[in-house]
Amino acid sequence: IYSYGEETIVVPVNATSHKNPAWELAAKEIENHFRKYGDVRVEIVSDNKAKVFVPSKFVAIVIGKQGKNIEEVENKLGIHIDVEELKELRKEKKEVDFEILERKNNIIFYVKNGVGRNADIFIDNDYLFSATIGKKGDIKVHEKSELGKNILNALDSKRRINVRI
């Protein structure tokens, strides 16, 4: 607050933005749909419009021939989607050391110093899935799930698996 003559001016110190919870849910759903293209960002513009930022090499694939792919997604999700090239919006996730163990029916990734953080799992630099690291520094995947089968195949064929947080 400061005064200039007879006028008093209030300048907010912290800008508080109240995000619509429905928009946050929609953004997560859209982001999950496009996760197969790697690191994506979603920005909800209005109740019926969103912007999806994907790596430049996937923009054409996401849109599809004559816009058919993106049109199908728009119809499925019920929201208009603009596809744009992903620029560096956030700091890049870093690859971390981890251990993989097979216990009972689970494949367990142990990540030191990552408790509570989100981790992205890649096979040969192709995005596989994201998970939150548990209290014990672990990520569990059931070996009979689709993800589990992919991980076991990668381990058997000695493909490179990495974890980024």
Residue 152 structure tokens: 């076991």
Please report which confidence band the pLDDT of residue 45 belongs to, taking 50, 70 and 90 as the band edges: confident
Q: What is the CATH number of domain 95-164?
A: 2.60.40
74 and 50 Cβ atoms separated by less than 8 Å: no
Give the pLDDT mean for 82-90: 73
Domain boundaries, the chain: 21-85, 95-164
Q: Can you tell me the distance from the alpha carbon of 112 to that of 137, in angstroms, rounded to the nearest whole number?
A: 6
Distances (CA, A) of 137 to 46, 79, 111: 38, 37, 5
Residue of 82, 95, 88, 89 lying closest to 34 (CA atoms): 82
Q: Tens digit of pLDDT for each residue in 122-164?
A: 888 888 888 889 999 999 999 999 999 999 999 999 999 999 8
Q: What is the CATH number of domain 21-85?
A: 3.30.300.20
Query: CA Rg, the chain, in Å?
Result: 21
Per CATH, 21-85 and 95-164 having the same topology is answered no
